[in-house]
Chain A
């Protein structure tokens, strides 16, 4: 066993990095979400002249412009505004209005709720698909001749390691306006199809992309798990007359259960952060996600301003989801830890 001092010396650099660049930024985001930093505005008489015929035309008007300090920079003030940024993001007044008027669907017009709806649906719908497709690939590869397994694993790894933005772009280009697959579908159906003009087709392609991208990860892990299935148990199940399906359900799947839980946990964490698809499919007009919403607030607008306060508020709201996501696995780990300590 290691003494505390030695242990600390080993982990100190790593802990330092995580505190400085993860823990402190979180505190900062929390504080920022209750503040607003704005340039100090002042009213000034401004004379603007435009060259006219014979004489210049000059107009004097009172304008509100940012105050410039002595160092040549815009002076800003930071104010505590309580929950205002949260209200700006959540827009509860519009939500209640929609509920009151009976048009509950109108809620999904508001950016935050639109993003939340997509993020949750995306996370929950892709989960069973990834596990199912991953397991199916693992079973079929396990069933294939030894010589083809290496090449199949190689090809399967490609969608997994490809840069997510590039991966979604590669699918975007297949389906964009005159993309090859859209052209093919148009020839089959005889109608004009545009896959990126409405939300549901974009979402469909996003589900496809995510399963394409993550199923290889599930496949590799399940495949490794299949190598350790107890052959004796399988053979005795055969002798007991269990059909192939029953063997899968009662022997193989229970054996893989810890792996299924592991993949589900990783997938939930990663899917909740869905972001690159929005960039790759350029879907911001139709489909957005929670992480994209924060990203959008942080991107400078045409005037070069970043909505830091609203970004912080939407980031804190995103964090609530993480708490729900992690509560169950963490409780389990805690119980295991307490169990192993006694």
Chain B
């Protein structure tokens, strides 16, 4: 596309436009970047007045935790190639090793193996190589940048954050799979039915979407706490207390997520031409067979996108999980609140920062891998109006 002379912009406009863009990029990334830096420093450095002290970490360095030039160069190289091969080589490896028909499983296993291999190389092999290398190389091997992983060790080890991580994974995996199973069926039905009932259902879903979640939780709590007694006449002595059960929280989050899911999937299914399933119907398929044989193979882009947003809802939730789960099976985000309560020393504060960064890291990877899907998901509902 060639820009005509009249559309060309003055230097001042171009300059202020890029200046604003740089300003926005800094604002958007700074808080996240800064807490990441803080989480690797000793408490004195993390809350130092001078930004340079926070970055360089002199106090951390004096306590014997530091990196030399060689450490940084090699460490960054490992991270760079891990990320690069994740996009260039990993898909190929998974394709060649996973048996046909089990692609999804292959990806799960492949990603897990890849992550473990990275951890082994980064935390196992790399320090072994760097130790002797640093002592040989003199000034290049001299540590100059203070950096410590002690807060991560404390959070994941002593404070058993991996339990919360496991609970978070359980809840989000449940929310995503059930939301999508229930939601695709409904979304397809709504997209292919022009009836008034479908319209009213969508309007009702829109109203449900606007409800504050605390309103709903106020409705669940009395029932969930007393569910063992309420359900006793039906299920006898096996009737469960729903309060504190992860699967009850999954059910609740799936329901809360349904309005959004069916709206989004409906708009994706509307983009799949109806002639496709009509052709299958002419060949003698029922609606369900048409859905399974013709629609299912082409619906995955929409389903993946919707799944990402379901993941975010389950992963980011604070309100529902903090009120409906007890301390033993708390997910990650509400568990952070536990740090507030005992956040008395600065060490506790930096541990809370490390926990926060731990929660953000998977989201960072998510955007890296699925940027295109997230953008298309955001625009799918809106641009069509």
Residue numbers of A with Cβ under 8 A of B are: 1-2, 4, 6-7, 9-11, 13-15, 17-18, 20-29, 32, 37, 136-137, 139-141, 143-144, 148, 150, 152-159, 161-167, 169-171, 173-174, 178-180, 183-184, 187, 212, 216-217, 220-221, 224-225, 228, 231, 234-235, 238-239, 244, 258-259, 262-263, 269, 272-273, 275-276, 279, 282, 290-292, 294-295, 297-299, 306, 308, 311-312, 315-316, 318-319, 322, 325-326, 330, 333-334, 337
Contact = CB atoms under 8 A, between A and B. Distances in A.
B368 interface: yes
A120 to B, nearest CB: 14
Which 10 residue pairs across A and B have the least CB separation, nearest first?
A25-B219, A10-B189, A21-B255, A14-B186, A294-B214, A224-B379, A315-B215, A170-B31, A183-B49, A163-B316
B367 interface: yes
A166 B1 CA distance: 42
Interface in B1-42: 1, 4, 6-7, 9, 13-14, 17-18, 20-21, 24-25, 27-29, 31-32, 34-35, 38
Contacts of B29: 155, 158
A2 B68 CA distance: 68
B262 A166 contact: no
Contacts of A315: 212, 214-215, 218-219
Q: Of A170, A299, A325, which is in contact with the most chain B CB atoms at under 10 Å from its CB?
A: A170
A157 B364 CA distance: 9
Interface of B: 1, 4, 6-7, 9, 13-14, 17-18, 20-21, 24-25, 27-29, 31-32, 34-35, 38, 47, 49-51, 54, 181-183, 185-186, 188-190, 192-195, 197-199, 201, 203-223, 251-252, 254-256, 258-259, 262, 287-288, 312, 315-316, 318-319, 323, 333, 336-337, 340, 349, 352-353, 356, 359-360, 363-364, 366-368, 371, 374-375, 378-379, 381-383, 385
Given A1-B193, A170-B356, A212-B28, 18 more contacts: A6-B288, A7-B197, A15-B186, A18-B204, A23-B208, A29-B218, A32-B218, A148-B21, A170-B35, A173-B35, A180-B54, A212-B31, A238-B7, A244-B13, A272-B210, A272-B212, A275-B319, A334-B203
Contacts of B183: 14
B213 A273 contact: yes
Given A144-B21, A308-B222, A10 B188 contact: yes
Contact of B201 (A15, A291, A337): A15
A322 B211 contact: yes
B52 to A, nearest CB: 11
A306 B221 contact: yes
The A interface, classified by DSSP as helix, strand, loop or mixed, is helix
Query: Which of B24, B312, B316 counts the most A-chain CB atoms under 10 A from its CB?
Result: B24
Contact of B382 (A29, A136, A155, A224): A224
B24 A140 contact: yes
Given A21-B256, A162-B360, A322 B34 contact: no
Contacts of B223: 28
Q: Chain B CB within 10 Å — which of A2, A148, A239, A272 has the most?
A: A2
Contacts of A178: 47, 49
A157 B371 CA distance: 8
A275 to B, nearest CB: 6
A22 B211 contact: yes
The prevalent SS among residues of B at the interface is helix
Given A1-B193, A162-B363, A295-B323, A22 B208 contact: yes
Given A169-B356, A308-B222, A2 B318 contact: no
A21 B214 contact: no
A4 B213 CA distance: 32
Contact of A269 (B54, B210, B254): B210
A179 B359 CA distance: 21
Contacts of B18: 140, 144
A223 to B, nearest CB: 8
A322 to B, nearest CB: 5
B186 A11 contact: yes
Contacts of B216: 21-22, 25-26, 29
A171 B31 contact: yes
Contact of A295 (B185, B319, B382): B319
Given A6-B287, A298-B218, A20 B364 contact: no
A152 B20 CA distance: 12
B360 A163 contact: yes
Given A180-B34, A212-B28, A275-B319, A14 B185 contact: yes
A297 B17 CA distance: 48
A116 B20 CA distance: 35
A96 to B, nearest CB: 28
A10 B186 contact: yes
17 contacts: A4-B195, A13-B186, A15-B186, A25-B218, A37-B222, A139-B17, A140-B17, A170-B356, A212-B31, A238-B4, A258-B385, A294-B215, A295-B217, A299-B323, A308-B221, A322-B207, A337-B199
A15 B183 CA distance: 10
Contacts of A292: 214
Contact of A259 (B9, B54, B256, B382): B382
Nearest to B216: A25
Nearest to A294: B214
Given A2-B287, A18-B258, A308-B222, A161 B367 contact: yes
A291 B38 CA distance: 32
Contact of B210 (A1, A14, A322): A322
Contacts of B366: 161
Contacts of B213: 273, 291
A292 B382 CA distance: 29
Contacts of A326: 206-207, 210
A158 B32 contact: yes
A212 B27 contact: yes
A134 B246 CA distance: 37
A330 B203 CA distance: 8
Contact of A325 (B38, B54, B210): B210
Contacts of B185: 10-11, 13-14
Contacts of A140: 17-18, 20-21, 24
Contacts of B375: 153, 157, 220, 224
Contacts of B215: 25-26, 29, 294, 315-316, 318-319
Contact of A18 (B54, B255, B316, B323): B255
B186 A164 contact: no
